[in-house]
Structure 1
Amino acid sequence: MTQNPIQLTNSRYRLGYHLMAPAGWINDPNGFCYFKGYYHIFYQYHPYSAEWGPMHWGHARSKDLIHWQTLPTALIPGDSEDKDGCFSGSAIVKDDTLYLIYTGNNYYDDGDPDHYWQNQNLAYSQDGIHFTKYDKNPIIATPPTDNTQNFRDPKVWEHDGHYYVALGSQDQAKLGRLLLYKSDDLKQWQYLGPIAHSQSVEQEGYMWECPDLFHLNGQDILVTSPQGIAAQEQQYLNLHQTGYFVGELDYQAPKFKRGDFHELDQGHDFYAAQTMLTPDGRRVLIGWLNMWESEMPEQVDGWAGALTLPRELIYQNNHLYQMPVAETKSLRQQKLRDEQLMVQSETELVNNQSQVEINLQLDSTKTTAQHFVVQFTDPQTHANVQLEYDFAQQLFTLKRSDRSDARFAQLRPNEKLQVQIFVDTSSLEIFLNQGESTITERYYFDHAPQISLTSDQALAFNCQIYQLEKQSNNYQINE
């Protein structure tokens, strides 16, 4: 019996300029790349339900990283190597062909959801739309003998004429680690060994998912999503984290010599980031704009999940900065405000707009204020999101009226303060001090928000607000 894809029943929470599937569930971005004039992004996708299930690879392409066209589903599970899911992976271009490397997930027939095996597989396409699975899959059949069953999320790249794959995994001591493989043709792979591992579950996690290893400004950087890091007072507060290690990859040893783990985003809703190198040399990241423990009320409407805005990564001052790519400015349709505001009592910034960009700048040396608050409020239900800044601590705190757990973004000392906020129906992406810290958040209002600014003392802000484009929801191609 053929299943029919799930259909949307309500668009109340649908985003206006973020990438979503037409309906159904999505999570991790996969296969982020550039091929034959288009940026391509794939994503973990369940087209038959708004809940997680057997993973497919959804697919979209774009000329500008902002306006996406939904393409036919690229990978469908069900073969002997991926009978229960085509899990996360990556893409690379070789000989004018786009190759996808992905994890096949397979359950043993005992009904235990924690009893499975995983392998690595290859698919390819000449046109970037229709994909064929390699007839000799799997290309990496089994994990090393000192590994557990957790063996997934291959990230592929080329270096000095050879191809490499980094795999997220877990050793027999139940600690996360990174495995390295090498190939000359993407089909035959040599295991080189583990190149990095978790120091302890509490510090660095019991499993490393979705690894992404790249070179940026003289450093090798590993972005990964560890599971199991112990929560601290203001850090590591989500169920799982996404963050990065900075170091040096020695291909000969092989070993990734690295420093401490740093979280990439401080919001409730960010995970499983993947990067690509653009044709003009930028390292750009996209993440899942949700989190496993989030409530996702949009599921009753036939969908769940979205991807973040693309973010350019900049490594400077021993820190990884994230900024919305320059192409994001193409979303601007109308300038709603451009002025200096003197704020003390509650001041309305914008009202009844579901897609806006807010830019605030101030000089913290020119005020005696102790704090200010940007507040988003549903004008009828009074549900709200508050972004509060404490000048003494140089600390942002985000609170939501529907959740008891706050999130925190600690900034470095800086006289200038810059806040850039992208509002999109049911999401916020907040960039603080040129991307020194970011807060990614879903929120669910019944009505477009009232957005206001309040301070305990007179405070001068430079303020620019733009109305942003609401797209016609991912024009679909059925070629």
Structure 2
Amino acid sequence: MKSLILLIAGIASAYCCCAQRDKDIPGMINASRKLRELMQSDPHRPVYHFVAPEGHAMPFDPNGAIYWKGKYHLGYIYQKFRNGKYEHVWGHAVSTDLLHWSLYPDMLNVKDGDMEEGIFSGGAFLSKEGIPHIMYHGQGASANLVAYSTDDDLRTWKKFEGNPVLKTPAADDPFGNSGKYTAWDPEGWYDKKAGCYYQISGGKTPALFKSKDMYKWSYIGRLLDSSQHWLYASEDVSCPDFFSIGGKSMLLFISHNIGAQYFIGDFANDKFSIRQHGRMNWPGGTFFAPEQLQDGKGRNIIWAWVLERKPATFPDYGWSGIMSLPRVLSLSENNILQINPPEEIKAIRLNKMEENNLTLTPNTEKLLKGKGKSVELQIELQGGITSPYGVKVFCSPDGKEETTVSYDPLKKQLTVDFIKSSVHAPVQMPSNAIFGPQMDGFPEKVSEQSAPFELAKGETLKLDIFLDRSVIEIFANSRQCVTQVVYPELESSNLLKVFSGNDKVLVKKATCWTMAETNRD
């Protein structure tokens, strides 16, 4: 720990001592190599998920995602040390294939004289003139602000002359707005049909505003008056992302105590009429602060911050911050949300292992041919109707470590059980996502995460499971997805198994690939 602090301090010192810059270059190079080697030695650092390049990233919310001129641009919150303290700023990563990322200069940061002390959550949109803009929350300013790009490669962003575009009303607000809304995580967009800009400001009572010019905003009212029977009373609406999908409107957001979720409905005449609600995270889960863009193929693609439950990651290895794989969202013919990995994932598959038509008698388990800690496993199972069945991942040969992924046909649930995910069993993790009131009926710590999921009569269970050292992402039949972090300690915990319950299980097909590393540079 002490040596790492000295290493990072040495790098910072080398960069800051401009007068000695030429003499310090060899030392800077050596220190950078040592830090990179240290990060790469972390057995839990993913190799094909996007991760923070180095340093502290908590929070690590994706923000400002936009597809522009053939490139995917993804902003992310991280903490930069300046003037003796850490400030929240937005990093900037760019990709042409959703998998390999290049780092650009910071998308947004704080300079002396700015009204904000840090850059919090927000999103990107195109202005009436087709210029990329960002609307974000200014930490410490109780205000929402705007920035816009000044070049076609989106390397440079300039803060809006009309900032702030929204402030939390004072207690003595002369217009009577006190208590009606707060300036919090914003979402902005331009509506061509309406000929105006809209802004959602998140919080306990998310509010809707509109403007003709982005300078003067009119308060329309609460966005979600009809949402209370879907949300718990203790939940807030933060990190909102509002977009069109399959002819409907979707509000993607989080509550700080439960995590990612969404509403789908219709937006017309300044009203959002909600038709359905769904969650993307459940007690014990780690899927947080999702961000969406629409790409050149018309796909709605999201990322989310995968919350870490190993607080020692940053001080021990010099990094923190994991992004989920990109997910493609769409609506089925009956408006059910479909969730799939992007087709681009096929490009990093290596060493294919396939097996077919394996039969398991009741209450047995069987090793699969594929194995590894950074793999994709596609498996199709035909199981019974009386008890859970599924797969086990990150298994050690002696059975001391394993994480279980199961479908329960009676409870109609897809579950990740991580109680034996480490030799330090029984493993428990917080039921709350980050903070906020403890949910009634949920213990503070849990050993599994369960999501609602039901197979139709005669439907087989089709799982697409992505493992990446400490991250598990499970896509089930294209309509459910569960994300979990685990921390297996044994080097030998790389086996994959299939298991049955009280009924016979048929493995119709199982295919495993090793995944190529995309973030080791």
- TM (norm. structure 1) is 0.83
Give the Cα–Cα distance (whole angstroms) in 1 for the partners of residues 273 and 382 of structure 2. Answer: 39
With 193-202 and 297-306 compared, the bigger mean Cα shift is at 193-202
Counting only pairs closer than 5 Å after superposition, residues 141-180 of structure 1 correspond to structure 2 as 141-144=166-169, 145-147=177-179, 150-160=182-192, 162=195, 164-170=197-203, 175-180=204-209
Paired position in structure 2 for 1:113: none
Paired position in structure 2 for 1:389: 407
Is residue 298 from structure 1 mapped to residue 313 from structure 2 by the alignment?
yes
Unaligned runs of 5+ in 1: 107-115, 228-238
Aligned with 2:259: secondary structure?
A: coil
Is residue 280 from structure 1 mapped to residue 311 from structure 2 by the alignment?
no
Aligned with 1:39: secondary structure?
A: strand
Aligned with 2:380: secondary structure?
A: strand
Residue identity matched to 1:224: F
1:132–1:471 distance in 2 versus 1, CA, 3 Å: closer
Count of matched residue positions in the alignment of Structure 1 and Structure 2: 440
Paired position in structure 2 for 1:442: 485
What per-residue deviation string (whole Å, max 9, x for no partner) do you get for residues 180-236 of structure 1? 33344x555444443324537962645310111112222211111134xxxxxxxxx
What per-residue deviation string (whole Å, max 9, x for no partner) do you get for residues 159-183 of structure 1? 226453433334xxxx332323334
Paired position in structure 1 for 2:163: 138
| CA-CA distance at 1:331 after TM superposition | 1.7
With 333-342 and 322-331 compared, the bigger mean Cα shift is at 333-342
Alpha-carbon RMSD: 3.0
Q: 2:223 aligns with which of 192, 195, 218?
A: 195
Is residue 406 from structure 1 mapped to residue 448 from structure 2 by the alignment?
yes
With 377-386 and 84-93 compared, the bigger mean Cα shift is at 377-386
Contact 2:266 2:274 in 1 (8 A): yes
Counting only pairs closer than 5 Å after superposition, residues 79-90 of structure 1 correspond to structure 2 as 79-90=112-123
Paired position in structure 2 for 1:314: 330
Q: 1:105 aligns with which of 139, 145, 150?
A: 139
Contact 1:81 1:138 in 2 (8 A): no
Aligned with 2:313: secondary structure?
A: helix
Counting only pairs closer than 5 Å after superposition, residues 62-101 of structure 1 correspond to structure 2 as 62-94=95-127, 95=129, 97-101=131-135
| CA-CA distance at 1:154 after TM superposition | 2.2
| CA-CA distance at 1:63 after TM superposition | 0.6
Aligned with 1:329: secondary structure?
A: helix
Identical pairs, percent: 24
Give the Cα–Cα distance (whole angstroms) in 1 for the partners of residues 321 and 248 of structure 2. Answer: 32
With 329-338 and 347-356 compared, the bigger mean Cα shift is at 347-356
What per-residue deviation string (whole Å, max 9, x for no partner) do you get for residues 129-164 of structure 1? 532323625141413533478422222323226453
Paired position in structure 1 for 2:375: 356
| CA-CA distance at 1:119 after TM superposition | 2.7
Give the Cα–Cα distance (whole angstroms) in 2 for the partners of residues 405 and 472 of structure 1. Answer: 30
With 202-211 and 141-150 compared, the bigger mean Cα shift is at 141-150
Give the Cα–Cα distance (whole angstroms) in 1 for the partners of residues 265 and 224 of structure 2. Answer: 11
1:79–1:149 distance in 2 versus 1, CA, 3 Å: farther
Is residue 424 from structure 1 mapped to residue 468 from structure 2 by the alignment?
yes
| CA-CA distance at 1:418 after TM superposition | 0.9
Contact 1:17 1:470 in 2 (8 A): yes
Contact 2:210 2:218 in 1 (8 A): yes
What per-residue deviation string (whole Å, max 9, x for no partner) do you get for residues 270-298 of structure 1? 0111111111111111111116xx34442
1:341–1:180 distance in 2 versus 1, CA, 3 Å: farther
Residue identity matched to 2:322: A
| CA-CA distance at 1:255 after TM superposition | 1.7
Runs (4+) of structure 1 exceeding 6 A deviation are: none
Give the Cα–Cα distance (whole angstroms) in 1 for the partners of residues 119 and 196 of structure 2. Answer: 22
- TM (norm. structure 2) is 0.76
Aligned with 1:41: secondary structure?
A: strand
Contact 1:117 1:149 in 2 (8 A): no
Give the Cα–Cα distance (whole angstroms) in 2 for the partners of residues 93 and 202 of structure 1. Answer: 31
Give the Cα–Cα distance (whole angstroms) in 2 for the partners of residues 202 and 258 of structure 1. Answer: 13
What per-residue deviation string (whole Å, max 9, x for no partner) do you get for residues 97-128 of structure 1? 4322221111xxxxxxxxx6233232423043
Contact 2:373 2:394 in 1 (8 A): no
Please identify the structure whose Cα radius of gyration is greater: 2
What per-residue deviation string (whole Å, max 9, x for no partner) do you get for residues 377-403 of structure 1? 453893332112223333222111221
1:425–1:47 distance in 2 versus 1, CA, 3 Å: farther
1:382–1:70 distance in 2 versus 1, CA, 3 Å: farther
Give the Cα–Cα distance (whole angstroms) in 1 for the partners of residues 246 and 138 of structure 2. Answer: 34
1:181–1:384 distance in 2 versus 1, CA, 3 Å: farther
Give the Cα–Cα distance (whole angstroms) in 2 for the partners of residues 368 and 399 of structure 1. Answer: 20
| CA-CA distance at 1:445 after TM superposition | 1.9
| CA-CA distance at 1:359 after TM superposition | 0.9
Higher strand share: 1
Paired position in structure 2 for 1:231: none
Give the Cα–Cα distance (whole angstroms) in 2 for the partners of residues 29 and 472 of structure 1. Answer: 17
Paired position in structure 1 for 2:433: none
1:340–1:79 distance in 2 versus 1, CA, 3 Å: farther
What per-residue deviation string (whole Å, max 9, x for no partner) do you get for residues 321-365 of structure 1? 21111111112122122423223432112565122111111334x
Paired position in structure 1 for 2:46: 15
Give the Cα–Cα distance (whole angstroms) in 2 for the partners of residues 194 and 81 of structure 1. Answer: 30
Paired position in structure 1 for 2:436: none
1:261–1:394 distance in 2 versus 1, CA, 3 Å: closer
Aligned with 1:336: secondary structure?
A: strand
Paired position in structure 1 for 2:505: 459
Is residue 126 from structure 1 mapped to residue 151 from structure 2 by the alignment?
yes
Counting only pairs closer than 5 Å after superposition, residues 214-293 of structure 1 correspond to structure 2 as 214-227=243-256, 239-250=257-268, 252=269, 254-266=270-282, 268-290=285-307
1:124–1:59 distance in 2 versus 1, CA, 3 Å: same
Aligned with 2:297: secondary structure?
A: coil
| CA-CA distance at 1:410 after TM superposition | 2.1
Contact 1:396 1:408 in 2 (8 A): yes
Contact 1:361 1:418 in 2 (8 A): yes
Contact 1:419 1:431 in 2 (8 A): yes
Is residue 182 from structure 1 mapped to residue 211 from structure 2 by the alignment?
yes
| CA-CA distance at 1:260 after TM superposition | 4.9
